[in-house]
Amino acid sequence: MVDSPLDAPIDVLVIGAGPAGAAAAALLHRAGRTVRIVEKQRFPRFVIGESLLPHCMDVLDAAGLLPAVEARGYLVKRGALFYRGSDRCSFDFGDAFTPGWGWTWQVPRADFDKTLADATEAMGVPIHYGHEVVSARFEGSPEVEVSDEQGRVHHLRPKFVVDASGYGRVLPRLLGLDEPSHLPKRQALFTHLTGDRRPPGQDEGRIWICIHPGQDGALGVGQAWLWIIPFSNGVTSVGAVSTPDFFDVFPGDPEQKLRAILRAEPAARDRLSDGAFEFEPRVLSGYSASVKRLHGPGYCLVGNATEFLDPVFSSGVTLALESAHRASGLVLRELAGDAPDWKVEYADHMMRGIDVFRTFVTRWYDGALPAIFFAEGKTPEISKQICSVLAGYVWDADNPFVRDHARRVELLAKLARSGRRDGFVATPIA
Ligand SMILES: Cc1cc2nc3c(=O)[nH]c(=O)nc-3n(C[C@H](O)[C@H](O)[C@H](O)COP(=O)(O)OP(=O)(O)OC[C@H]3O[C@@H](n4cnc5c(N)ncnc54)[C@H](O)[C@@H]3O)c2cc1C
């Protein structure tokens, strides 16, 4: 419950109480700054993006949010399993090349986001739900207009604004920073279901990513893939991702379409064919987005308000939390009178990690990465290095798959496609 007036003086206004906003606010508050969050919706609210990566744990820990999440008893995720027909490729985060967390959680986001927001509020950060940022100006000191549920408009004058508005993209829209993504338009069709026949023991919590055979029966890379994300409450999130025309071919309503897609993929069929859908499958499309810049005088963008690539490697919340962590450090320095170099210390840093995922995403859809994943000649060293990227450690320049991601993937895909079976990682890259 908020008992602090909206127009009381503050250092930082955070727009949005998703993972990026909660983490940024918690970090700033713990460093002694007065912070306030305005959130358009009421929590709990549904949002997609339910599989975390181990690097998330570093930021949740730094923000003091880990104990609250731990108390929710979410299902532990120790790795990922990729399927292509009868081919199977498994990654265990405990084997990752980069030292760090060897596990994380699968999180129903309505509950997870409320948990983070409540823990942030309990630290002393007021959150004003049902309050929407409608305008912002940054000539001189920041001026922000917030509309409440009664339509009243409040004028706020924080010293700094952190935009964590996710798909709302508040400052990108208001300041004309939006830029189209260069990734092809893709669509997701997803639901939650019960009755999932899960693998037993520690394998239960892994994410499954299954390449869909495609309508022509070929194991068509780049056509479609499925996610299977199990939760501790017995519910499982399932979704299919492809270009919009892929879905048009399947007849019927969204449930009939999704069921037909699940039936056609053997691993998903074995697990999910008896499942009961919790809600009519929802469609999301055109979610990839980009921006001209991540910061300006008096503001910065964090989380999905910046760039969102693609769901395939579950990178969204990890990038959201990393950006919140990195940006809040610079906000603190700026408020202390320092002049951080936002381009070098924030934008360039974030882009380094985003570019690693961008290579993985584009090379997933063109088949290069599946060729490596399912190759028999992969050494344990290659698997460890790939595993680190899949765990979100995309800033570890000691990892060749980070340092030289584009060339590394290209070369190894060539070797994998050539059918070599003799430890092709040994091939040096200049
Ligand atoms: C199909 C699909 C699957 C995905 N799967 C995964 C996955 O498995 N793992 C993963 O890590 N990521 C995944 N993602 C990405 C994930 O959804 C996002 O990266 C993540 O939610 C970003 O968090 P955030 O805090 O930046 O934004 P959000 O969680 O979107 O929070 C932003 C908040 O800002 C509020 N807001 C918006 N506008 C305003 C306004 N004007 N004023 C005030 N508040 C406002 C919103 O109400 C919202 O609560 C997936 C995305 C898609 C599309």
Q: What is the mean pLDDT of the chain?
A: 94
- Answer whether 207 contacts ligand 1 (Cβ < 6 A): no
DSSP secondary structure string, 254-315? HHHHHHHHHHTSHHHHHHHTTPEESSPPEEEE---BEES-SEETTEEE-GGGT-B--STT--
What is the rounded end-to-end Cα distance, in angstroms, of the chain?
58
| Residue nearest atom 30 of ligand 1, based on CA coordinates | 166
Are 80 and 207 a contacting pair, CB within 8 Å?
A: yes
Are 354 and 309 a contacting pair, CB within 8 Å?
A: yes
- Answer whether 54 contacts ligand 1 (Cβ < 6 A): no
pLDDT at 137: 97
Q: Looking at residues 192-196, what average pLDDT do you find?
A: 98
| Residue nearest atom 52 of ligand 1, based on CA coordinates | 311
Count helices and strands (H / E) in the chain. Answer: 15, 21
Substitution site in 135, 165, 354 for ligand 1 pocket (most atoms within 8 Å of beta carbon): 165
| Residue nearest atom 38 of ligand 1, based on CA coordinates | 168
Q: Assess whether pLDDT exceeds 50 at residue 430.
A: no
Q: Assess whether pLDDT exceeds 90 at residue 3.
A: no
What is the CA(38)–ligand 1 centre distance, in A? 15
Backbone angles phi and psi of 338, in degrees to 5 = -80, 170
Maximum pairwise Cα distance, the chain: 68
For the question of whether the overall pTM of this predicted structure is more than 0.85, the answer is yes
pLDDT at 378: 86
Evaluated on CA atoms 114, 117, 123, 126, the torsion sign reads negative
Distance CA 43, CA 63 (A): 20
Question: Which tens digit of pLDDT belongs to each residue from 234-264?
Answer: 999 999 999 998 999 899 999 999 999 999 9
Q: Thinking of the domain 187-285, which architecture would CATH place it in?
A: 2-Layer Sandwich (3.30)
- Would you give the DSSP letter of residue 51? B
Q: Looking at residues 318-335, what average pLDDT do you find?
A: 98
Those residues with Cβ within 8 angstroms of residue 133's Cβ, 6 or more apart along the chain or in another chain: 15, 38, 40, 144, 145, 146, 165, 170
Q: Looking at residues 48-71, what average pLDDT do you find?
A: 98
- Answer whether 163 contacts ligand 1 (Cβ < 6 A): no
Question: Which tens digit of pLDDT belongs to each residue from 373-428?
Answer: 999 878 999 999 999 999 999 999 999 999 999 999 999 999 998 876 555 554 44
| Residue nearest atom 18 of ligand 1, based on CA coordinates | 316
Question: Which tens digit of pLDDT belongs to each residue from 383-392?
Answer: 999 999 999 9
The domain spans of the chain are: 12-72+107-180+289-353, 187-285, 367-426
Domain over 12-72+107-180+289-353 is classified CATH 3.10.450.50: no
